[in-house]
Structure 1
Amino acid sequence: MSEKIVLIDGHSILTRAFYGVPDLTNSEGLHTNAIYGFLNIMFKVLDEEKPEYLTVTFDVHAPTFRHEMYADYKGTRKPMAEELREQVPVIKEVLKAMKIEIVEQAGLEADDLLGTISHICEEKGLDVSIISGDRDTLQLATEHIKIRIPKTKQGRTEVEDYYAADVKEKYKVTPKEFIDVKALMGDASDNIPGVPGIGEKTATKIIEEYKSIENAYAHVSELKPPRASKNLQEYWDQACMSKTLATIDIHADIAFDLNAAAYGNPYTQEAYVYFQRLQFKNMMDRFDVEASGNTLESYFKEITDKKEAERIFAEAARAECTGAAITEDTENVPPLFAHPSGYGRVTVAYGKDKVYSILSDADMDMDYLLGKLSDVAGTVKTFSMFDLKKYLSDVKIIRQENCFDVAVAAYLLNPLTNHYDCDDVAREQLDITVDGKTDSMTKACYEAYTAFACAEPMREKMQAEGMYHLFTDIEMPLVFTLFDMEQAGIQVEAEALRFYGEQLGGKIVELEKEIFEMAGESFNINSPKQLAVVLFEHMKLPNGKKTKTGYSTAADVLEKLAPDYPIVEKILEYRQLSKLKSTYADGLSVYIGTDRRIHGKFNQTIAATGRISSTEPNLQNIPVRMELGRLIRKVFVPKEGCIFIDADYSQIELRVLAHCSGDEKLIQAYKEAKDIHRMTASQVFHTPFNEVTSLQRRNAKAVNFGIVYGISSFGLSQDLSITRKEASQYIENYFETYPGIKRFLDDTVAHAKEEGYVVTLFGRRRPVPELKSSNFMQRSFGERVAMNAPIQGTAADIIKIAMIGVNREFKEKELKSKMILQVHDELLIEAYEEEAEEVKEILKRQMEHAADLDVPLIVDMHTGRNWYEAK
Structure 2
Amino acid sequence: MSSSRTRLVLIDGSSYLYRAFHALPPLTNAAGEPTGALFGVVNMLRATLKAKPNYAAFVQDAPGPTFRDDLYAEYKANRQAMPDDLVAQVEPMLAIVAALGFPILRVDGVEADDVIGTLATRAAADGIDVTISTGDKDFAQLVRPGITLVNTMTNSTIDEAGVVEKFGVRADQIVDYLALMGDSVDNIPGVEKCGPKTAAKWLAEYGSLDGVIASADQIGGKIGENLRKALPQLPLSRQLATIKTDVELDRGPADLKLLERHAEQLRKLYRRYEFNAALKELDAGGAPAAPDLPAAELPVHREFGVRGISAPPAVTTDPALTGAGHYELVTTQERLDAWLERLRAAELVAFDTETDSLDPMQAAVIGVSIAVTPREAAYIPLGHDYPGAPTQLDRAQVLAQLKPLLEDARKAKLGQHAKYDINVLSNYGIAVRGVAHDTMLESYVLNSTASRHDMDTLAKRHLGYETIPYEQVAGKGAKQIPFSQVDLDTACRYAAEDADITLRLHRALWPKLEAEPGLRSVYESIEMPLVPVLARMEQRGVLIDTAALKKQSHELAKRMHELTAQAHALAGRSFSIDSTKQLGAILFDELKLPVVVKTPGGQPSTNEDALEAIADQHELPRLILEYRGLAKLRSTYTEKLADNVNPRTGRVHTSYNQATAATGRLSSVDPNLQNIPIRTEEGRRIRQAFVAPDGWRIVAADYSQIELRIMAHLSGDAGLLAAFHGNQDVHRATAAEVFGLPLDQVDANQRRAAKAINFGLMYGMSAFGLARQLGVGRGEAQDYMARYFARYPGVREFMERVREQAHRDGYVETVFGRRLYLDYIHSRNAAQRAGAERAAINAPMQGTAADIIKRAMIAIDGWLVDREDSARMLMQVHDELVFEVHETQVDAISAGVRERMAAAAELAVPLVVDVGVGANWDEAH
Query: In the alignment, which of 715, 719, 723 is matched to residue 773 of structure 2?
Result: 719
Contact persistence 2:320–2:374 (CA under 8 A): no
What does residue range 509-528 of structure 1 map to in structure 2 within 5 Å? 509-528=561-580
Q: CA separation in 2, counterparts of 1:27 and 1:810?
A: 49
Instruction: Return closer, same or farther for 1:363/1:516 CA change in 2, 3 Å cut-off.
Output: closer
Name the residue aligned to 1:555: 608
1:88 aligns with 86
Match of 2:399 in 1: 370
**Where do 1:698-717 residues align within 5 Å?**
698-717=752-771
Q: CA deviation at 1:418?
A: 5.2
Question: Which of 767, 783, 799 matches 2:821?
Answer: 767
Q: Does 1:434 align with 2:467?
A: yes
Shift in CA distance, 578/409, structure 1 to aligned 2, threshold 3 Å: same
Q: Could you report, residue by residue, the CA deviation over 1:818-863 in whole angstroms, capped at 9, with x for unpaired residues?
A: 1111110111111001111121111111100000100000011111
Q: Write the deviation string for residues 6-55 of structure 1: whole angstroms up to 9, x where unpaired.
A: xxxxxx98964379999999999xxxxx999995884364165189xxxx
Find the partner of 2:711 among 637, 654, 657: 657
Matching of residues 775-790 of structure 1 within 5 Å: 775-790=829-844
8 Å CA contact retained: 2:371, 2:378: yes
1:384-403 map, 5 Å: 384-393=414-423, 394=425, 400-403=433-436
Alpha-carbon spacing, 1:157–1:738, altered in 2? closer, same or farther (3 Å): farther
Q: Any conservation in 2 of the 1:422–1:446 contact (CA below 8 Å)? A: no
- Deviation of the 1:343 alpha carbon: 6.4
**Alignment partners' CA distance in 2, 1:688 and 1:328:** 65
Contact 1:329 1:440 in 2 (8 A): no
Task: Choose which of 323, 327, 330 in structure 1 pairs with 2:354.
Answer: 327
State how far apart, in whole Å, the 2-side matches of 1:506 and 1:541 are: 28
- Give the conservation status (yes or no) of the 8 Å contact 2:24–2:301: no
Which letter does structure 1 place at the counterpart of 2:82?
A: L
What is the identity, as a one-letter code, of the residue corresponding to 2:566? E
Q: Once the 2 structures are TM-superposed, how far is the Cα of residue 255 of structure 1 from its aligned partner?
A: 9.0
**Which stretch of the first structure deviates more once superposed, 683-692 or 528-537?**
683-692
Shift of 1:268: 8.2
Q: Which residue of 2 aligns with 1:573?
A: 626
The answer on 1:444 being equivalent to 2:495 is: yes
Using a 3 Å threshold, how does the CA distance of structure 1 residues 641 and 48 change in structure 2: closer, same or farther?
Answer: same
Candidates 805, 808, 824, aligned match of 2:878? 824
| Residues 297 and 624 (structure 1), Cα distance of their counterparts in 2 relative to 1, 3 Å cut | same
Q: Secondary structure at the match of 2:573?
A: coil
| Contact 1:423/1:434 (8 A) holds in 2 | yes
Comparing 359-368 and 753-762, the one that deviates more? 359-368
| RMSD of Structure 2 on Structure 1 (CA) | 4.1
Residue matched to 2:101? 130
Q: TM-score, normalised by structure 2?
A: 0.67
Output one character per residue of 1:208-233: Cα deviation in whole Å (capped at 9) or x when no partner.
Answer: xxxxxxxxxxxxxxxxxxxxxxxxxx
Choose the corresponding residue for 1:316, options 334, 338, 343: 343
For 1:398 and 1:806, the matched residues in 2 are separated by 19
1:749-764 pair list within 5 angstroms: 749-764=803-818
Give the letter aligned to residue 355 of structure 1. Answer: A
- Kept in 1: contact 2:696–2:884 (CA 8 A): yes
Distance 1:742 1:830, change over 3 A: same
Inter-partner Cα distance in structure 1 for 2:911 and 2:445: 26
Question: Is the 8 Å Cα contact of residues 407 and 605 (structure 1) preserved in structure 2?
Answer: yes
Residue 356 to residue 535, structure 1, CA distance change in 2 (3 Å): same
Superposed CA deviations along residues 471-519 of structure 1, whole A, max 9, x for unmatched, are: 1211112111111111111111111111111221222222222222222
The residue type paired with residue 83 of structure 1 is: A
**Structure 1: gaps (5+ residues):** 1-11, 29-33, 52-61, 63-80, 93-103, 119-128, 137-147, 160-198, 202-246, 280-291, 331-339
Letter in 1 for 2:855: I
1:856, 1:475 → 2: CA distance? 24
Q: Which deviates more from structure 2 when the two are superposed, residues 380-389 or residues 695-704?
A: 380-389
- Give 3-state SS (helix, strand or coil) of 1:769's partner: coil
Alignment correspondent of 1:49: 50
Q: CA deviation at 1:383?
A: 1.1
**CA offsets 1:122-144 (integer angstroms, 9 cap, x no match):** xxxxxxx43462699xxxxxxxx
Change (3 A) 1:521 1:345: same
What is the CA distance between 1:537 and its match in structure 2? 0.9
Query: What is the DSSP-based 3-state SS (H/G/I as helix, E as strand, rest coil) of the residue aligned with 1:763?
Result: coil
Match for residue 798 of structure 1?
852
C-alpha distance in structure 2 between counterparts of 1:272 and 1:369, whole Å: 44
Asked if residue 468 in structure 1 is aligned to residue 466 in structure 2, the reply is no
Aligned with 1:834: secondary structure?
Answer: coil
**Cα 1:568/1:698, change in 2 over 3 Å:** same
Structure 2 stretches of 5 or more lacking a match? Answer: 1-9, 27-34, 53-62, 64-78, 108-129, 151-248, 252-260, 281-288, 306-318, 384-390, 474-489
> Could you say if the C-alpha distance between residues 15 and 691 of structure 1 is closer, same or farther in structure 2, counting changes exceeding 3 Å?
farther
**1:388-441 per-position Cα deviation (integer Å, ceiling 9, x unaligned):** 111224177778455211112222123224532221121222221115463322
Q: 2:466, 2:41 → 1: CA distance? A: 21
Question: Partners in 2 of 1:816 and 1:741 — Cα distance?
Answer: 44
Which residue matches 2:232? none
Contact 2:355 2:367 in 1 (8 A): yes
Shift of 1:625: 2.2
With normalisation by structure 1, the TM-score equals 0.71
Structure ID, larger Rg: 1
Distance in 2 separating the partners of 1:88 and 1:824: 39
1:622 partner letter: I
1:508 aligns with 2:560: yes
3-state SS of the aligned residue for 2:638? helix
Structure 1 stretch displaced more, 691-700 or 457-466: 457-466
> Equivalents in 2 of 1:411, 1:791: separation in Å?
19
Change in 2 beyond 3 A, CA 1:380/1:91 = farther
Whether the 8 Å CA contact 1:430–1:454 is kept in 2: the answer is yes
SS of match in other structure, 1:766: strand
Amino acid at match of 2:501: T
**CA gap 1:343/1:21 in 2 versus in 1, 3 angstroms:** closer
Tell me the equivalent position of 2:508. 457
Deviation at 1:460, TM superposition (A): 2.1
The equivalent of 1:359 in structure 2 is: 381
Q: 1:797, CA displacement in angstroms?
A: 0.6
Question: 1:336 maps to what in 2?
Answer: none
Which one scores higher on RCO, CA 8 angstroms, separation ≥ 6? 2
SS at match of 1:610: coil
Tell me if structure 2 keeps the 8 A contact 1:806–1:846: yes
Q: Describe the shift of the 1:855–1:690 C-alpha distance in structure 2 as closer, same or farther (beyond 3 A).
A: same
Q: Distance between the aligned counterparts of 1:20 and 1:27, measured in 2?
A: 13
Deviation at 1:83, TM superposition (A): 3.0
Question: What residue identity is the alignment partner of 1:324?
Answer: F
> 2:514, 2:430 → 1: CA distance?
25
Give the length in aligned residue pairs: 685
Distance apart, 1:273 and its partner CA: 4.5
1:304 aligns with 2:331: yes
Counterpart CA distance in 2 for 1:546 and 1:525 is: 19
Of 264, 273, 277, which residue of structure 1 is paired with 2:290?
A: 264
**Pair 1:294–1:495, CA change in 2 (3 A):** closer
- Does the aligned pair in 1 maintain the 2:700–2:880 contact within 8 Å? yes
Q: Does the 8 Å contact 1:404/1:476 carry over to 2?
A: yes
Check conservation: 1:319, 1:380, Cα contact below 8 A: no
Distance 1:739 1:802 in 2: 32
User: Given the alignment, which residue of 573, 590, 603 partners 1:538?
Assistant: 590
Cα deviations by residue, 1:192-246 (Å, 9 ceiling, x for unpaired): xxxxxxx999xxxxxxxxxxxxxxxxxxxxxxxxxxxxxxxxxxxxxxxxxxxxx
Q: Percent identity?
A: 32
How far did residue 110 of structure 1 move? 6.6
Structure 1 569/605 Cα, relative in aligned 2: closer, same or farther at 3 Å? Answer: same
Q: Any idea what SS the aligned residue of 2:769 has?
A: helix
SS at 2:466 equivalent: coil
From the superposition, tell whether residues 342 and 435 of structure 1 become closer, same or farther in structure 2 (CA, over 3 Å).
closer
